[in-house]
Chain A
Amino acid sequence: MGKKKCVAMLLAGGKGSRLSSLTKSLAKPAIPFGGKYRIIDFTLSNCTNSGIDTVGVLTQYQPLVLNSYIGIGSAWDLDRKDGGVTVLPPYSESSEVKWYTGTASAIYQNMTYLMQFDPEYVLILSGDHIYKMDYSHMLDYHIEKGADATISVIEVPWDEANRFGIMNTTKEMKVVEFEEKPQFPQSNLASMGIYIFNWSLLKEYLEMDARNPESSHDFGKDIIPLLLDENKKLFAYPFAGYWKDVGTVKSLWEANMDLLDEKNQLNLFDYSWRIYSVNPNHPPQLITSEAEVVDSLINEGCTVEGYVNKSVLFQGVAVEKGASVRETVVMPNAVISKDAYIERAIVPSNLVIPEGVVIRPDIGSDEIILVTEEIIKEMQAH
Chain B
Amino acid sequence: MDKKLLGVIDATTYQEGLEPFVDHRSLAALPFGGRYRLIDFILSNMVNSGIRSVAIFPKFQYRSLMDHLGSGKDWELNRKRDGLFFFPSQINSDGIGSFTHFAENMDYFQRSTQQYALIANCYTVANIDFRKVLEAHIHAKCDITEVRKDGRSMEMYLVKLSLLTDLIEKRRETGYSSMKDVVTDLNHSYKICHYEYNGYVNMIDSISSYYQSNMSLLNSATWKSLFTKEHPIYTKVKDEPPTHYLNGSHVLNSVIANGCQIEGHVENCIIFRGVKVGKGSVIKNSIIMQKSQIGENCVLDSCIFDKDVKVEPCSMMRGSMESPFVVRKGTIQGALMKS
Contacts and interface: CB of A to CB of B under 8 A. Distances in A.
Interface string A288-318: 1111111111111000000000001100000
B250 A297 contact: no
* Residue picked from A34, A285, A292, A295, most chain B C-beta under 10 Å: A285
A35 to B, nearest CB: 3
Interface string B84-128: 000000000000000000000000000000000000000000000
Given A276-B239, A292-B252, A294-B249, A283 B233 contact: yes
B200 to A, nearest CB: 14
A205 B261 CA distance: 50
A286 B249 CA distance: 16
Contacts of A328: none
Residue of A275, A281, A287, A295 ringed by the most chain B CB atoms within 10 A: A287
Interface residues of B, number: 34
A277 interface: yes
A275 to B, nearest CB: 7
A298 B241 contact: no
A184 interface: no
B254 A36 contact: no
A315 B247 CA distance: 21
B32 to A, nearest CB: 11
Nearest to A313: B242
A279 B249 contact: no
A235 B186 CA distance: 86
A298 B256 CA distance: 10
B263 to A, nearest CB: 9
Interface string B240-251: 011111110111
A298 B227 CA distance: 18
A337 B252 CA distance: 19
A275 B241 CA distance: 8
Nearest to A35: B242
Interface in A319-375: none
B173 to A, nearest CB: 46
B330 interface: no
A292 B251 CA distance: 7
Nearest to B33: A284
Central interface residue in B232, B242, B245, B257, by most chain A CB within 10 Å? B242
A54 B22 CA distance: 42
Contacts of B220: 286, 288
A295 B239 contact: no
B252 A291 contact: yes
Interface in B174-201: none
A287 B252 contact: yes
Contacts of A299: 242-243, 258
B21 to A, nearest CB: 19
B237 interface: yes
A275 B254 CA distance: 26
A211 to B, nearest CB: 45
A288 B252 contact: yes
A244 B255 CA distance: 33
A1 B307 CA distance: 43
A294 B255 CA distance: 16
B251 A287 contact: yes
A268 interface: yes
Nearest to B267: A289
B58 interface: no
B130 interface: no
B278 interface: no
A295 B259 contact: no
A317 to B, nearest CB: 11
Interface centre among A283, A286, A290 (most CB of B within 10 A): A283
A274 interface: yes
A281 B234 contact: yes
Given A34-B242, A269-B261, A292-B250, A279 B237 contact: yes
Contact of A296 (B233, B238, B245, B261): B245
Contact of A284 (B252, B253, B256): B256
Interface in B252-299: 252-259, 261
B35 A300 contact: yes
A286 B266 CA distance: 12
A93 to B, nearest CB: 36
B45 interface: no
Interface string A250-283: 0000000001101000001100001111010111
Contacts of A288: 220, 252-253
Nearest to B228: A283
A268 B251 contact: no
B34 interface: yes
A225 to B, nearest CB: 40
Contacts of B254: 286-287
A287 B239 contact: no
Contacts of B245: 293-298
A293 B251 contact: yes
A277 B239 contact: yes
13 contacts: A36-B242, A269-B241, A279-B238, A281-B233, A281-B237, A283-B227, A283-B233, A285-B257, A287-B251, A289-B252, A294-B250, A295-B247, A297-B242
For the complex of A and B, 5 pairs with smallest distance between CB atoms: A35-B242, A284-B34, A268-B241, A289-B253, A299-B242
Interface of B: 33-35, 74, 220, 223, 226-227, 232-235, 237-239, 241-247, 249-259, 261
Given A287-B251, A312-B242, 14 more contacts: A34-B242, A35-B241, A275-B239, A279-B239, A283-B33, A285-B257, A285-B258, A288-B252, A292-B252, A294-B249, A297-B245, A298-B243, A298-B245, A313-B242
